[in-house]
Structure 1
Amino acid sequence: MPTWSSRRLGLLCLLLVCAACARAPRPAVTRPQDALVAELASNVALMDDADPASLRVALDQSLIWLRTRPVDHRFVYGPREVTAGELISALERLRARLTDGMSSLDVSKAVMEDFELLESAGGEDGTVLFTGYYEPVIEASLAPTDEYRIPVLSAPDDLIEVPLEPFAERFASERVFGRLEGKRVVPYWNRAEIRGGKLGQRKLELAWVRDPVSLFFMEVQGSGTLRLIDGTERRVGYAASNGRPYRSIGALLIQEGAIPREQMSMQALRAWLAANPNERERVLDYNESYVFFRFLPGAAVGSLGREVTPGRSIATDARLFPKGGLAFIHTDHPVRMADGSVQWRPLSRFVFNQDTGGAIRGAGRVDVFWGRGSQAELAAGMMKQKGRLLFLVPKPRAPAVTAR
């Protein structure tokens, strides 16, 4: 989980970083509110193209997580700071207004009663790039065989996670992973080293698969379903990573001229790797990041530890955007038609920021979770669309007046 972020445009800061940060100032990530008010006064641009029921499901997951935060925990939305208590109250009021059968306009009006808009600055060119991720299903066995030889590993006990926020508030939401070498923390083994046996005989295997490429893409997605030999299924999700930076094998093959940039997709990558088996290990090892898994009791979960909702959950840079927050996205997504052709349709809906990912860095990147199935795989593999990301911050509420 994932699976599916960069910087700039506007004045004010929507970044989850302390204003007293000693680093160079973060670029702005919102545009002036008056421009949005003029553009969205009729709510026409906020038409939700999905069903209210799925919005309620995603909203409930954010509420469950937010209620675990201290009530005075603060979320930074550009020029505004909102406490967890204020955000919970606004979402609870919205939850009470959402009913089945509501029109897109009704949903938009229900949201705007308690929320106002701030727009992401986007990347260096001022735009937001939308991609997708999904829950793949791969063939697996709970015991190794001649056919199923590639292990799906759980997290090793010598993998150390170090949150950096306790050392300085400016490192909020940042962490490093490593291992002890004497008294020193050093980087954890990379993909090639793990594949080569650096973890030894530790009995970390959850299952075995026959296709290393499918396992690689399940790591990129962050979760998946193992379809076992007897026909049963076991869901697995992200447990930890080795902390190495994510490096795109797609970018590598574009750079090497193996796949033209305009033809790059997950489907194109799979086809190239299948046609070039002698290059497979070299190309996969270019991404030194390695993901460890755990069995899940239910549906796929995001970085909040809560279930993600297909079409309603997004992944963004956890350092920059408010976790669990309500947002609105406007872009395009692919749809396979009955004749097998693919058409691009508008994607316009309210979503919740419930996940993150190693490849999702900066204010200009958003990954949309699509669930499982062929349509989800299509969207996850082909989406590379520009669009807009708007966060909705609770409106300031007048303090209660006590009668004398």
Structure 2
Amino acid sequence: MGRRRIAAYLAMALLLPGTAPWAQDTEPDLAEAPTVSVLDFDDLSGWAADDHAAALATFTATCGDMRAPDWIAVCNMAKTQTPDSARTFFELFFTPVLIQDGTPALFTGYYEPEIEGARQRSARYRYPVYRMPPEALEIRPWLSRAQIEQGDALSGRGLEIAWVDDPVALMFLQIQGSGRILLRDGSHIRIGYGGDNGHPYASIGQEMVRRGIYNAHQVSAKVIGNWVRRNPAQGAELLRHNPSYVFFREIRDVSPEAGPKGAMNRSLTAMRSLAIDPAYVPLGAPVWIEKTGFRGLRRLMVAQDTGSAIKGPQRADVFVGSGPGAGKLAARIKDEGRLVVLLPIQRAYAMLVEDNI
């Protein structure tokens, strides 16, 4: 360690009286033991050119919810920083750690969809957005998508949050897990994930390929939507191939300007918030990404969300924003690269020691 890194290490020890320098929380059991490499900030391609102040603002938005003593200490230090000291803060109190399990890195994108709707059902708005029925919490799995849509298990119970006019957009809303329903008076209803029916997700695109409707390279969200709208009866049956069904909750405590809530129950920041696998990356941790491909990124982000498809130390989902433009951008992100998590110094070196035992 350089002189500045040693000073930071000693500073953290003073910030954590009574805590062993190598102490860390109990980590969850992992299916495969990963390899851990401690890097230097000079190893991070593009590090010096990033907007560290923007990353600091995103980090401080959620670090106060982290409960481990070392994270609490780092968060308290973060809140005393100015934009000009942001880069020095990260370099002084964190260590870059590369965690790998042999699986190539994969970055995808996600967004907050917007869909037109209404509070009341009408001839146009006839597809319901449901709250979670209480029995679906107890019976696992509960009814399938086909049983929900073709039966009356939810009708007449007041579980409808709103009604929308597009079943394809509603399914993509369920896949994303959150979104905004735009009302005709210019206001909107913000909704977040409220639970599911316990059935596994089945890909509509893969099913279209299996049926010979399209080749794999032709399938996209837009193609699926257009085909279902051109073939309403067959399209409804196709969508029911996916037995998974997501329920929502109405979110009232987020301003229209703020992003949707992530797994930390705080608003996400476009192009600074990241969904990760918390088995490898602590929620709230700064994460450096080096993404190749479409609109390559060299950027310090913050792990503020999770996702059922985000599994492994080198798997991440970039939150790109809200609305149709963000949706188009998110759909184009499927890139390789590298993910490096920034950990408090003693936690990082403790992982290295454990990995070498």
TM-score by length of 1: 0.71
Q: Which residue of 1 aligns with 2:146?
A: 192
Measure, in 2, the Cα distance between the counterparts of 1:313 and 1:146. 39
CA deviations over 1:304-358 (Å, ceiling 9, x no partner): 211111111111234443222221111146xxxxxxxxxx322111111111122
Measure, in 2, the Cα distance between the counterparts of 1:200 and 1:42. 57
Matching residue's letter, 1:251:
Q
Matching residue's letter, 1:233:
H
Measure, in 2, the Cα distance between the counterparts of 1:293 and 1:275. 28
CA deviations over 1:215-266 (Å, ceiling 9, x no partner): 1111111111111122221211112222222232233334444444344433
Matching residue's letter, 1:301:
K
* Cα drift, residue 285 of structure 1: 2.0
SS at match of 1:188: coil
For the 8 Å contact 1:62–1:325, the answer to whether it is kept is: no
Which sections of structure 2, spanning at least 5 residues, go unmatched?
A: 1-25, 350-357
* Cα drift, residue 204 of structure 1: 0.1
CA deviations over 1:342-401 (Å, ceiling 9, x no partner): xx3221111111111222233343111111134311221121111211111100299xxx
SS at match of 1:392: strand
Asked if 1:119 corresponds to 2:98, the answer is yes
Measure, in 1, the Cα distance between the counterparts of 2:242 and 2:318. 22
Residues 188 and 223 from structure 1, CA distance in 2 versus in 1: closer, same or farther, beyond 3 angstroms? same
Measure, in 2, the Cα distance between the counterparts of 1:88 and 1:56. 15
Q: Which residue of 2 aligns with 1:235?
A: 190
Alignment match of 2:32 (pick from 23, 27, 32): 27
Written as runs of structure 1 = structure 2, the 5 A alignment for 1:1-400 is 16-18=27-29, 26-33=31-38, 36-37=39-40, 40-41=41-42, 43-47=44-48, 49=50, 51-66=51-66, 69=67, 84-99=68-83, 107=87, 109-121=88-100, 126-160=103-137, 178-179=138-139, 186-196=140-150, 197-297=152-252, 298=254, 299=258, 300-332=260-292, 344-396=294-346
Matching residue's letter, 2:115:
I
CA deviations over 1:3-56 (Å, ceiling 9, x no partner): xxxxxxxxxxxx9523xxxxxx622434433xx44xx5364443464x445423
CA RMSD of aligned residues (A): 2.8
Q: Which runs of 4+ in 1 moved over 6 A?
A: none
* Cα drift, residue 210 of structure 1: 0.8
For the 8 Å contact 1:62–1:324, the answer to whether it is kept is: yes
Structure with greater helix share of residues = 2
CA deviations over 1:144-178 (Å, ceiling 9, x no partner): 01111100111112232xxxxxxxxxxxxxxxxx4
* Cα drift, residue 208 of structure 1: 0.4
Residues 276 and 328 from structure 1, CA distance in 2 versus in 1: closer, same or farther, beyond 3 angstroms? farther
For the 8 Å contact 1:47–1:348, the answer to whether it is kept is: no
Residues 151 and 252 from structure 1, CA distance in 2 versus in 1: closer, same or farther, beyond 3 angstroms? same
Measure, in 2, the Cα distance between the counterparts of 1:275 and 1:329. 40
For the 8 Å contact 1:47–1:349, the answer to whether it is kept is: no
TM-score by length of 2: 0.79
* Cα drift, residue 92 of structure 1: 3.3
Matching residue's letter, 1:189:
L
SS at match of 1:295: strand
Measure, in 2, the Cα distance between the counterparts of 1:47 and 1:159. 50
Percent identity, please.
Answer: 34
For the 8 Å contact 1:254–1:261, the answer to whether it is kept is: yes
SS at match of 2:300: strand
Which sections of structure 1, spanning at least 5 residues, go unmatched?
A: 1-14, 19-24, 70-83, 161-177, 180-185, 334-343, 399-404
SS at match of 1:195: helix
SS at match of 2:109: strand
Measure, in 2, the Cα distance between the counterparts of 1:249 and 1:378. 18
Matching residue's letter, 1:17:
P
Measure, in 2, the Cα distance between the counterparts of 1:61 and 1:360. 22
Measure, in 1, the Cα distance between the counterparts of 2:53 and 2:47. 17
For the 8 Å contact 2:193–2:247, the answer to whether it is kept is: yes
For the 8 Å contact 1:135–1:223, the answer to whether it is kept is: yes
